[in-house]
Amino acid sequence: MRDELFYLGQKIVSHKSEIAQGVIHYQEQRYSDQLKLSGIKKEQLTEWRMQLIEMLGQSLYEDKVETFRKVKEWTGRIGKVALEKGLPLNESLKTLSAFRTAIWDIFTEQLHDNQISAALMLQVNKEINPILDEIAFLLNEVFLTQQKDQLALIHNAMDELSAPIVPIAEKIAILPLIGEIDTHRASSVMETALRKSSELQLDFLFIDISGVAIMDTMVSHNIYQIINALKMMGVQSVLTGIRPEVAHTLGNLGITFEDLKTSASLKKALEDVGFTQYKMVLPV
């Protein structure tokens, strides 16, 4: 059996160009169109496919550990190109079955003439299928990693937008908070506020909560933690925009900010540190 597998493996390797062309015949037209739109040259694509076919042929007589090492390297390299070119994962995975069919075509005549037994071809499939399955798994891992990286970038961008530190003068900035302040967002706001305060070397940070929809015990605690952390960095925080209904709700909950500097409005808080309203004369 080993000698027969060696023979078939060598035959697959020697016919890799023909098998690569056969894959094109079996892949779906939609995927063929996507490949054309990707800008990948046909010669390059054929070369990659011949590399895979050669590995499949060699797997019939080479060490399995070495085969899977080469497969992992190949899949990582080709998977990265597929991502960069915008090729969909599902279409790439479906095309893997075309390799198996194209390999069978090489031995069709010999099978009909009983030169190769069906049992032997089943053994070939048994050897090759795990490799194709591994490629499918590795391709999925490549795409999942890329998705996780993209989601992380999106979350970071959203976190930055959820805590926009706006410098208005040297060592002075404003942090307008809008919407809901849950535990995750509070942690993000604290991280951004501490980092930006350090970068801008702030002395004052005005935290305006006039746009915060709900102010309850949890939200108040989160804001208090942010202000306390800033205080430890030497940044004086001023809490502004406490609406009457919010103040009433906080009073009923027994929540106070007595040890924190507060102001009814951002305008009033800015005036308290020297910012005054002035009229701007627009040029005619």
Q: What is the CATH number of the domain that holds 171?
A: 3.30.750.24
In a domain, 47, yes or no: yes
d(CA 175, CA 166): 6
**Is residue 17 domain-shared with residue 146, that is, in the same domain?**
yes
Domain membership flag for residue 278 = no
pLDDT in tens, 172-213: 898 888 877 777 777 888 888 888 899 999 998 998 888 877
> Are 259 and 240 in the same domain?
yes
| CATH number where 31 lies | 1.10.490.10
Distance (Å, whole) CA 204 – CA 235: 6
Q: 218 and 83: one domain?
A: no
* Helices within the chain (DSSP H only): 2-14, 16-26, 29-38, 42-58, 64-84, 89-106, 108-112, 118-162, 183-200, 217-232, 244-253, 266-272
Residue 77, token pair as written in the block: 């390299």
Question: Of 110, 129, 158, which closes a domain?
Answer: 158
Same domain, yes or no: 192 and 135? no
**Same structural domain, 8 and 129:** yes
Domain match, 108 and 229 both:
no
* pLDDT tens digits, one per residue of 229-273: 888 889 988 888 877 776 766 666 665 666 677 777 788 777 777
Range of the domain at 188: 166-272
Neighbouring CB atoms inside 10 A of 116's CB total: 19
The pTM of this model reads 0.56
Residues 151 and 174 in one domain: no
Per-residue pLDDT band at 280 (split at 50, 70, 90): very low
Give the pLDDT confidence score for residue 259 in this predicted structure. 64
Number of domains observed in the structure of the chain: 2
DSSP conformational letter for 261:
E
Task: Based on the fold, state whether residues 117 and 204 are members of the same structural domain.
Answer: no
| Most confident range, picked from 50-64, 138-152, 181-195, 209-223 | 50-64
Considering 158, 189, 214, which residue would you say is the last residue of a domain?
A: 158
Residues 151, 188: one domain?
no
Domain-embedded: residue 137 = yes
Asked if 116 and 171 sit in the same domain, the reply is no
Q: Are 150 and 143 contacting, i.e. CB atoms less than 8 angstroms apart?
A: no
Is the residue at 283 inside a domain?
no
**Three-class SS state of 166:** strand
CA–CA distance, 249 with 251 (Å, rounded to integer): 5
52 falls within a domain = yes
Residue 179 domain-assigned?
Answer: yes
Q: Using alpha carbons, select from 100, 136, 133 the residue that is nearest to residue 23.
A: 100
Question: In which band, very low, low, confident or very high, does the pLDDT at 140 lie, cut at 50, 70 and 90?
Answer: confident
Nearest CA among 211, 95, 107, 93 for reference residue 142: 93
Task: Give per-residue pLDDT as tens, 104-119.
Answer: 888 887 777 777 887 8
Domain boundary among 158, 184, 206: 158
178 and 146 in a single domain? The answer is no
Nearest to 226 by CA among 201, 240, 243, 205: 205
DSSP tag of 107 = T
Distance CA 98, CA 263 (A): 70
Same domain for 241 and 174: yes
Decide: 222 and 180 in contact? Cβ < 8 Å. no
Lowest mean pLDDT among 37-51, 84-98, 153-167, 225-239: 153-167
Q: Is 265 helix (H, G, I), strand (E, B) or coil?
A: coil
